[in-house]
Structure 1
């Protein structure tokens, strides 16, 4: 198995805030797209625009810089529009990664069998 970290966020959008959130996410995605260590970064929304999932996959050494450098300038606005319902982290995060993800209520699951391509 590759040494990567996958994060799956479940967010609850504040009532009527999807248009504003969508515009903010476009800026976050554009900034994140420039990170060579980000392998996948996908937002999905429910039909009623109340729930958003984010599936993020990083080279393990890229998670900290994403949180500290790329996401940080957007964090206050982001968190004013949503509530984080859950965060599940897949992989073997080191202590530095856990320190960044624990404030989001991370639950960690370690792989024990399987593969990625």
Structure 2
């Protein structure tokens, strides 16, 4: 039904850590831009410091590559923001889901709808 997989991560920037978060986010975005199979890697931010990251991948192998790259930034990212929620989107295999087990993600499987490419 759906061609790609992905996830959403929500977090809250720690008090006084916005500059540190922006720095590590910029580095991760630059590294992720090099990943051919990463289709979306987008950050959204509220005035109150709530963060939403939308990530979408061409396939499972691309998602594994991204998680491995992200692991090098994880300590700095978590030092600047508290992860509050994660949602897996699509038919993610157990080995990929296990890589996020510390966040206890909600798993949402395809149900209906469509996606357009422009």
TM-score normalised by L of structure 1: 0.91
- List runs of 5+ in structure 2 lacking aligned partners: none
- List runs of 5+ in structure 1 lacking aligned partners: none
Q: CA RMSD in A?
A: 1.2
Q: Does 1:24 align with 2:24?
A: yes
For the residue of structure 1 that corresponds to 2:43, the secondary structure is: strand
Listed one character per residue, the Cα deviations across residues 34-89 of structure 1 (whole Å, up to 9, x for unaligned) are: 001100000111113x2111011112321111111x11111111111111100011
Contact 1:60 1:93 in 2 (8 A): no
Contact 2:2 2:90 in 1 (8 A): no
Structure 1 runs (4+) greater than 4 angstroms displaced: none
Q: How many residues align?
A: 115
Structure 1 residue aligned with 2:92? 93
Structure 1 residue aligned with 2:78? 79
